[in-house]
Each structure stands twice: as C-alpha cells, then as structure tokens.
C-alpha cells in the first residue's frame, strides 16, 4: 500500500461486490455522499454511468475493494483512468498491524478481510457475519483471525433447490419468517432462512464469548429472526477500506 492517500482530504471509497456497487465520498473523514446499486453483472457499465456524479465531487484519491477478478478489474481501471486521479486496489495483508491471519492471503477474499478489518478490536473476541451474496462467518481472537465459514445465502440456496428438483416450481417471495411452512412456497422460503439463521445461532452457541457483528445487505433480514437485537454495522467493508488506506 502506498502513502499516497495521506496527501488528500477528499477520497472515494469504492466497493465492487458480486451483486452491488457501493461508494462513499469522504472529505476530512466525513461522509458527504454515498450510494449502493445492483450492478446486474455489469459493474463497469454501472461505474461508467456514475462517473459524472462521482467526478462532480472532485475526489483526489480512489480506494477500491473488488472481488470481480482481473478481467473486470482491468476494465474498471480503464474507466477510473478517465477521472484523472490516483487510485489503488486494497489487497489482503495477513500481517496487518491490526489484523493477523493464518490464511494464505491468496485464498482469503478481500471483502471478508476488509469486513474484519472494519470491526477488529485487539481487546475483544469477535465474530463477523457477512450477509451478502454469500454468508461469511469469521472469528477473530484479539486481532488474530482464527478462520471461518462460507455458506450460500438464502437466494442462492433457493435457486439451487429449484434447479435441482422437479416438483418445486414456486419461485420468489420474501424471506420474513422461520415458522413452520404450511405450504410448499412457505416451506422453501422459511426453510432456507431457517438454515442461515441456524448457522448464526450455532456459532453463537459454540463461541459464546465472542461478540457477534452482522454486516452487509442481508443483516436486517437475519436480525429480525432473533428475540434480542444483534449488533449490526452494515458498512463494515467500507469502514475497513477506509482503515486500510489510513
């Protein structure tokens, strides 16, 4: 990581995920603009459409988290070149002074790592649950990443069930309950949510002394199924991105 960001007061933090593009415009550590949009598998096209809006804020540096692969990242770089300001992609650092990891850095997604970096507190045991395209569960013991789990989210599970069965043909619907389903439609939607919520409950039972933090777009959906409100910080990744370049 370069020392370049320290020179500037106005920065663009850009998160390119599997399904959404999110950004913060920050001036002197204050968020002055933000947005999140589904990119429908065309993230560079969406970025091109947002370029005029982003340029109007006159960012002096762009910090990027991307899980989209080299081909798309190359197109992203070509688009960002037109802004005419320095930019840099965040990379996993297994020996970061705030967050150590026993993972091979090449095998740990930068999104998971930045979520943990956004939450990490060296005085605590923590469990970061990312509720995005996948459900990620990561345990941190006083600044040391112990490992974790990756599960399909509710939408991926439902799609797999439809694709792999002949008689379940009802698609769509909200994930708003884990009560016993009285129809096949409800049994599917309640069932896949039950599985995801069950994974969170299990990690809470197995690691009761770890503070659990939900993050990501699906955090409220999961939180709603618990009698007590769980700690939620939806933008841990962007907080981690900011920390990375700090």
pLDDT in tens, 58-117: 999 999 999 999 999 999 999 999 999 999 999 999 999 999 998 888 899 999 999 999
| Same domain flag for 108 and 222 | yes
Please identify which of the residues 111, 186, 206, 220 carries the catalytic annotation: 111
Is the pLDDT at 146 greater than 90? The verdict is yes
Q: What local confidence, expressed as pLDDT, does residue 3 receive? A: 64
The CATH number linked to 81 is: 3.30.420.40
- Domain count along the chain: 2
Q: What local confidence, expressed as pLDDT, does residue 168 receive? A: 73
Which structural domain, as residue segments, surrounds residue 30? 4-89
What's the token pair of residue 235?
């933008």
Q: Give the distance, in angstroms, between the CA of residue 226 and the centroid of all CA atoms in the same chain.
A: 21
Structural Rg of the chain based on CA atoms? 19
The Cα 172–Cα 168 span in angstroms is 12
Strand segments, DSSP code E, in the chain are 10-16, 20-27, 30-38, 61-66, 87-89, 100-101, 125-131, 134-141, 144-152, 211-215, 231-232
| Same domain flag for 110 and 224 | yes
Q: Specify the DSSP element, H or E, that contains 160.
A: helix 154-164
Q: How confident is the prediction for the chain on average, in pLDDT?
A: 93
For 19-29, what is the mean pLDDT? 94
Q: Is 94 part of a structural domain of the chain?
A: no
The pTM for the full model equals 0.92
Q: What local confidence, expressed as pLDDT, does residue 125 receive? A: 98
Domain boundary among 59, 89, 119: 89
Domain boundary among 63, 89, 115: 89
| Same domain flag for 206 and 112 | yes
111 among known catalytic residues? yes
Q: What local confidence, expressed as pLDDT, does residue 173 receive? A: 85
Domain boundary among 89, 116, 145: 89
Q: What local confidence, expressed as pLDDT, does residue 1 receive? A: 59
């Amino acid at each position: 990581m370069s020392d370049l960001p320290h020179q500037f007061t106005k920065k663009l933090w850009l998160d390119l995920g599997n399904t959404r593009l999110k950004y913060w415009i920050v001036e002197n550590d204050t968020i002055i603009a933000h947005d999140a949009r589904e990119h429908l598998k065309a993230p560079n096209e969406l970025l091109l459409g947002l370029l005029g809006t982003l340029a109007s804020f006159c960012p002096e540096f762009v910090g990027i988290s991307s899980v989209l692969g080299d081909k798309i990242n190359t197109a992203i770089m070509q688009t960002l070149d037109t802004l005419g300001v320095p930019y840099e992609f965040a990379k996993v650092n297994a020996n970061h002074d705030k967050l150590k990891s026993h993972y091979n850095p090449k095998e740990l997604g930068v999104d998971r790592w930045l979520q943990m970096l956004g939450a990490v507190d060296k005085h605590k045991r923590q469990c970061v649950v990312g509720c995005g395209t996948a459900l990620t569960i990561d345990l941190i013991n006083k600044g040391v990443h112990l490992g974790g789990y990756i599960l399909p989210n509710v939408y991926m599970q439902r799609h797999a069930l439809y694709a792999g069965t002949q008689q379940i043909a009802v698609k769509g619907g909200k994930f708003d309950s884990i009560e016993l389903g009285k129809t096949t439609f409800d049994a599917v939607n309640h069932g896949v949510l039950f599985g995801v919520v069950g994974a969170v409950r299990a990690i809470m039972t197995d690691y009761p002394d770890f503070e659990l933090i939900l993050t990501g777009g699906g955090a409220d959906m999961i939180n709603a199924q618990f009698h007590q409100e769980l700690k939620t910080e939806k933008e841990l990744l962007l907080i981690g991105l900011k920390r990375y370049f700090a």
